[in-house]
Structure 1
Amino acid sequence: MDTPPKTDRPARRSTRLVSWHWATPEAQAILATRNLAAILKYHRRVHGDSQTQTGELLGYDKTYVSALELGKRNLTDVGSLRHVAERLCLPPHVLGVTDPADADHHAMLQFGQSTVRLAEIARQSGHATEAVAELWPLVARLEARARDGNTEREVLRLLAHARLGLGTALGNVLPEERLATAAHWTAQSLDVVRIFNDPALTTTALRMHGNELRKSGLAGAAVHRLTHAAAVAPDQPERAAVLPLLARAAGSLGNQVLFDRAIEEAHQLLDVVEHTSLVNPVALYEIHLRGLIATGRAEDAIRRAEDGVPTSTISIAPQWRVIELITTGRVRLLAGDRQGATKLLVGAVREARAQRLPHQLQRVLRAAGDALPDARESADQALTQLRTEMAA
């Protein structure tokens, strides 16, 4: 039994900051091999670590890390394997260690369903990084069960919801150049959803995937998915949840006719459905302003903004406040109010930094441009800090 020599153990790297690295398609292919050498090499590459630094993280000597990567030494001791999994922020099964949570199938399902619900609450509360950290191990565990032939419908349904939650949470915490990873996970859910023939689940999956496609810059594909979601929605509440996102995607595509039709129907349904984090006057106000600008009607956006933000009918998710500040800041700049625009965008930077929303900071950079140097500098500094933390 190979038990590696230990050195003093440093603090474990934060799961909250590194778990997204393991959610990429490339990482999934590597983890599926359960090859410790390949996993260690990948971990070092994405973090830019030397073998010495990885050794410090694991509490091993550099020469031992080198031997593991070259296949000259193998870990067979369960305690050592579990230790490595913990330090690398991986679920133990990736290294062939039985996870006690899988022993009781029903307990695992209950745990998983609670995790998905709590992760969504965390995301809506402005804690998307924590949601990623909770969902990634669950997705990995469920996918391992599926690969091993455990394809019970309850497991597959939970896997679909967990993948959707992971993709959506990643869509909050990743910068624009990595948003394809978020769309990858929501797309993966569609592969599972199709087997259920459940209109509500299908609508949800298409809706969430379509929104991540839009954020990834694939507006045409987003409109296609969201139009499909609206068409198969089984009732008004489900359709109402799709329409704001369809309007936003249509605006991004510059499709004025589709944007106007979707936003008008979304406003009409406000009077007949229960309000949610997406279906409410404040969210539709922001989406309407942004769509008017995107479809070349800045003057209309300015006039609409003069009425101010509508009264909220529900508790608004913190990230929506950031989104609304950026869009309203853009409108103030178009109206020639540089001071007001700067104040709004700097406020958005402060909240986006606190909530760890790099994508929204990148929106501030574009909105500020050369016209608002103070807002641009503030956003640039905050984005640099977040990138540094994500790479740490």
Structure 2
Amino acid sequence: MHGTDPYGGIRWRWTTPRAQDILRRRALPEILQLYREIHGLPQQELADLLGYSTSYVSRIETGSRTITDIGALRHLAERLDLPPHCLGITDDADADHQLVIQLAESVLRLAEIARQAGQATIAVTELWPLVARLEARTADGHADLDTLGLLVRARVGLGVALGHVLPEERLATAARWTGKGLNVARRLGDPGLHAHALRHHGNELRKSGLHLRALDRLGQARDTARTTTERAEAVVLLARAAGAAGHTALFDEAVEDGHRLLNEAAPTALFSAFTLHEVRLRGLMVTGRVAEAVRQLDQAPAAGLPATSQWQIIAAITAGEVLLRQGDAAGAGQQLTAAVQGATLHRLPHQLQRVVRASSSLPDVRHCAVNALEQLRAEIAA
């Protein structure tokens, strides 16, 4: 699989469903034919590459000559730049790779549980070595669909986890990782995986202040969703991004779509009556409809089981902002103080930054938020 870019160019021709089927069946005649097709080689040039005669290559391609000798198969794998397992050869590296594949699902699942439980730093710690391992294996030529799919999920998961624990000025790092996941996902022909990467990359772009790009990615995620759950999760993030961008019409459209989907999609950590209400409150504030936000504040649904610690902290900050605009400094102070405590416990610096901005008229709350933020900054720097 020649090419200096392990995630682009010629390598991607080996990740198509047809190519993966040929490699999975270890069909040497078809492998040689596909290699020539990918590289645009006549039989003579392939024969020169392999050190065989043209007639010998022709016999292999037609199936009249089979190769079973391990040494000859290793030679072919090396010359074709294919992982040995594609030709039926098992070595220590491939056995190690199979172990990585088996463990990767567990790591991804545990990292997601940790992140949703408010322990995003643990998720980062788990995902970073997995991403590095999968990238190294892919660069070595193990670009099968299972590995690439795991790489997408690991990159996206790492980006999302970093988006929790990094301060605002460093959130572009989180968006870069989710973007790297999306770059692979869009090539794999898996609509669900592509939609997953679009949703999370769009959300990290929003957090980085890249509103137009965020709306583009999240709009794609909504429009290409295959299930009500996929659409619901894309819609709530689209509403959030549209509100942040001050795009009133799109915000209202997405919120209306979200309310309709409440009757169709089962609640998830990302989409529920609780998260949609928080997104609506914040969007109403940004789009200048403070009175409506104040009226909606008392209609907040209970957090419920799907709501993560992160969402509850976000909702407390938003409620505090609305209460301040209503003139209820005491109520706002309670909400923002609770948010500071939660954001400190779960190491969420950019939520503390939100509190700092919101609490300019509440010096005691602001002082606590600034101190907690500086402590987290020092820990991150260390």
- Give the TM-score, by structure 2 length: 0.74
2:327 matched to 1:336?
yes
Unaligned stretches of 5+ residues in structure 2: 1-91
Residue 357 (1) aligns with residue 345 (2): no
Select which of 212, 217, 220 maps to 1:225: 217
1:323-357 superposed Cα distances (whole Å, 9 cap, x missing partner)? 01000000000000111111110110011000000
Assess if the C-alpha contact under 8 Å between 1:280 and 1:314 holds in 2. Answer: no
Aligned counterpart, 1:318 = 309
Contact 1:157-1:193 within 8 A present in 2 as well? yes
- Unpaired runs of 5+ in structure 1? 1-99
Q: Is residue 119 from structure 1 mapped to residue 111 from structure 2 by the alignment?
A: yes
How far does residue 200 in structure 1 lie from its aligned partner after superposition? Answer: 1.2
C-alpha separation in 1, matches of 2:321 and 2:270: 21
Q: How many residues align?
A: 291
Higher mean alpha-carbon deviation, 209-218 vs 103-112, is at 103-112
The answer to whether 1:188 aligns with 2:180 is yes
Distance (whole Å) between structure 2 residues aligned to residue 373 and residue 242 of structure 1: 37
Superposed displacement of residue 102, structure 1: 6.9
Task: Report if the CA contact (8 A) 1:128-1:169 is conserved.
Answer: yes
Task: Name 2:13's counterpart in structure 1.
Answer: none
Alignment pair present for 1:168 and 2:156: no
* Per-residue Cα deviation, 1:136-195 (whole angstroms, up to 9, x for no partner): 000001111111222111111100000000000000000000000000000001121122
Aligned counterpart, 2:5: none
Question: What amino acid does structure 1 have at the position aligned with 2:377?
Answer: R
**Are residues 101 and 113 of structure 1, via their aligned partners in 2, closer, same or farther at CA, if it must alter by over 3 Å?**
farther
Aligned counterpart for 2:121 among listed residues 101, 111, 129: 129
Note if 1:384 corresponds to 2:374.
yes
The 3 A distance-change label for structure 1 pair 109 and 253 is same
Deviation sequence 1:206-242 (CA, Å, 0-9, x none)? 0000000000011111001100111111122110110
Residues of 2 paired with 1:207 and 1:215: CA distance? 13
The alpha-carbon deviation at position 313 of structure 1 amounts to 4.3
Give the alignment of 1:203-214 within 5 angstroms. Answer: 203-214=195-206
Q: Do the aligned partners of 2:275 and 2:311 also contact (CA within 8 Å) in 1?
A: yes
Q: Residue by residue, what CA displacement relative to the aligned partner does 1:270-322 show, whole Å, maximum 9, x if unpaired?
A: 11111101111111111010000011101100011133x21344342111110
Distance in structure 2 (CA, Å) of the matches to 1:210 and 1:194: 14
- Counterpart secondary structure, 1:361: helix
Equivalent residue of 2:232, what SS?
Answer: helix
Q: Aligned runs of 1:269-284 on 2, under 5 Å?
A: 269-284=261-276
| 1:106 to 2:101 alignment | no
Answer yes or no: is the 8 Å Cα contact 2:195–2:225 preserved in 1. yes
Match of 1:104, SS state, is helix
**Among 147, 150, 168, the residue aligned to 1:158:** 150
The AA in structure 2 aligned to 1:242 is A
Paired with 1:267 and 1:284, the residues of 2 have a C-alpha distance of 8
Letter in 2 for 1:178: R
TM-score for both structures, normalised by structure 1: 0.73
1:259 correspondence with 2:215: no
Deviation at 1:198, TM superposition (A): 1.5
2:363 aligned to 358, 373, 380, which one? 373
| Letter in structure 1 aligned against 2:380 | M
Q: Which structure would you say has the larger Rg?
A: 2
Displacement of 1:106 in angstroms is 2.1
Residues 134-149 of structure 1: matches in 2 within 5 Å? 134-149=126-141
Report deviation, 1:264: 0.8
Equivalents in 1 of 2:269, 2:111: separation in Å? 15
Q: Percent identity?
A: 53
Moved runs in structure 1, 4+ residues, more than 3 A?
Answer: 100-103
Cα RMSD (Å):
1.3
CA distance in 2, matches of 1:277, 1:363: 21
Distance 2:133 2:372 in 1: 34
1-side partners of 2:241 and 2:306: how far apart?
24
